[in-house]
Chains A and B, each alone.
Chain A
């Protein structure tokens, strides 16, 4: 009896210990999150100001803002969305809708999942090889193409997943009324899956707004305000990278301010996307 009691006690202790460690692990994760966000908030808040949005990045040792980097990132993100979204939606639709040779769809799905987690610096090297090298110089277009390649698999995946959630009766109803496939997809499937597809796009934009590695040797950087997509173009991630590692306090301040703006933008987008998805789940 006492042996059984000791055994019971040991099992209870192991159980309590394991669950306690699990709680500790969760706390570790939460502390890391708060620590990082607090660092960015405290260092970045002091550096905020209207000058960030009205002046271009300064030469070493003088004052300035982030205008050229913000505009450059905006333009390249816009172009990346224009390039990546239609192709991603079409490819995702193919995965969800085409039957026929299923192994092709399976292969594309497999490759797409790999692209989703593949190192983005390799994407940067690829775009360098196919655009920067032949054209002879870094350019905003090369940066946008690299960003589009990071965005594409996100859009493909979410389109594929949300379209497959649309009830088959909707498809049947449309086709039975004599609608051609393209009308059914465009006017029945896409509206029905709109929320999910938008969520995917927002998450994708959040992802590419913070990506630095693929821009390092595609868009590079530009000290001046420029709207020319065929030339090197300033952008937030690379400016933050260069300024954070610089020895100049004014540059480091701008890096913290940029880091705060970028983090806020990315986290608000992810939270917004999550919020959009919620009603559909209910």
Chain B
């Protein structure tokens, strides 16, 4: 921060030597390159997607068919699969992450916090293809044998919700994919939550405890309201990751371009469709349609991640003002 002050003062004091001018130019062009990469990505992918957008128009967004033989491509099923798997991931990951953050800040004895926090963060280090293999060969059979039959028996008869849980226990499907995504985003969400919980001023904590609040009341009524926007930021960060996650989902989603209401059925997602089909796309329209899917994914994740960043920045601005 104060480094900036120095750097700013320097050019006014005297004309910079040519070495420094060259150096500054180098630094600035590297920074501009980062901007250009994002802009270039958006442009190049839009350019590649253009034939599909022009050919199908709005039908691309609303079409159910994905038929390489008839050259008919609609993105609704992959979009639906992406949204549903991410929704399942968030519904399970948010409470688990909150629980982990609660455990790490309030429950665990001090000596246990660092190792357990590090272990949870290791989950973020495991490559996504490893999640995919584990998901396909271990977790999906486990879901098929133990979890899905029980869910169907328990929730299947319910009037409206039941539709979601009726179906053959294949193991491969949106529920399994969503749960694996959930494990993958938990380390990101819980790390943000833990970090911002620790930022809450000690005086506030002491005041709450001094008034007789239990640990839970302290977190639920004081810590969480204080950190609300950053917690939402962490959740959106996790959502951004879940939406764009590719390999793990590709392994366990089944790559089926068919719409089904049941969460137990195979489906596909935007990222999985691209990963599965791109090298096999044998016509320009097919390839362009897949790139168009990529463009949709790019736009959606950009909005979600920008929102996350904005929410997280609000906390640090608030902290600075205090």
**Is the C-beta of A228 less than 8 angstroms from some C-beta in chain B?**
no
Partner of A244, one of B120, B133, B294, B306: B133
Residues on the B chain within 8 Å of A220, using CB: 279
Residues on the B chain within 8 Å of A14, using CB: 214, 216
The reply to whether B28 and A259 form a contact with Cβ atoms under 8 Å apart is no
Residues on the B chain within 8 Å of A95, using CB: 31
Partner of B129, one of A11, A37, A212: A212
Mark interface residues in A171-189 (1 if CB within 8 Å of B CB, else 0): 1100100001110010000
**Is the C-beta of B19 less than 8 angstroms from some C-beta in chain A?**
yes
How far does the alpha carbon of A110 sit from the alpha carbon of B306 in the complex, in Å? 8
CB distance from A15 to the nearest CB of B (A): 4
**Is the C-beta of A2 less than 8 angstroms from some C-beta in chain B?**
no
Residues on the B chain within 8 Å of A164, using CB: 1, 3
Residues on the A chain within 8 Å of B4, using CB: 97-99, 102
Contact size class for A?
Answer: 35 or more
The reply to whether A104 and B129 form a contact with Cβ atoms under 8 Å apart is no
- Write the chain B residue with the least CB distance to A112: B34
How far does the alpha carbon of A216 sit from the alpha carbon of B129 in the complex, in Å? 12
How far does the alpha carbon of A110 sit from the alpha carbon of B116 in the complex, in Å? 31
How far does the alpha carbon of A206 sit from the alpha carbon of B138 in the complex, in Å? 25
**Is the C-beta of A251 less than 8 angstroms from some C-beta in chain B?**
no
Mark interface residues in B233-259 (1 if CB within 8 Å of A CB, else 0): 000010011011111000100000000
Which of A46-54, A60-68, A266-274 lies at the binding interface?
Answer: A266-274
A-B pairs with beta carbons under 8 A, tally: 293
The reply to whether A15 and B129 form a contact with Cβ atoms under 8 Å apart is no
The reply to whether B19 and A125 form a contact with Cβ atoms under 8 Å apart is no
Partner of B24, one of A98, A209, A270: A98
CB distance from A121 to the nearest CB of B (A): 5
How far does the alpha carbon of A130 sit from the alpha carbon of B45 in the complex, in Å? 10
The reply to whether B216 and A18 form a contact with Cβ atoms under 8 Å apart is yes
How far does the alpha carbon of A11 sit from the alpha carbon of B215 in the complex, in Å? 10
The reply to whether A108 and B237 form a contact with Cβ atoms under 8 Å apart is no
Residues on the A chain within 8 Å of B2, using CB: 168, 171
Given contacts A129-B47, A182-B19, A213-B246, contact A94 B28 (CB under 8 A): yes
- Write the chain A residue with the least CB distance to B180: A32
How far does the alpha carbon of A3 sit from the alpha carbon of B271 in the complex, in Å? 57
What 10 pairs across the A-B complex have the smallest Cβ distances?
A210-B127, A119-B244, A25-B99, A99-B8, A90-B30, A99-B4, A15-B214, A182-B23, A94-B27, A22-B102
22 CB contacts below 8 A, A to B, read: A14-B216, A19-B102, A25-B102, A33-B123, A88-B30, A93-B30, A94-B30, A98-B7, A98-B31, A110-B309, A114-B38, A117-B241, A117-B308, A118-B244, A119-B244, A119-B246, A119-B271, A168-B3, A216-B278, A240-B129, A262-B130, A274-B118
Q: A19-B102, A220-B279 are in contact. List 9 more A-B contacts (CB 8 A).
A: A12-B214, A30-B119, A91-B34, A97-B7, A99-B8, A117-B301, A119-B244, A153-B34, A212-B128
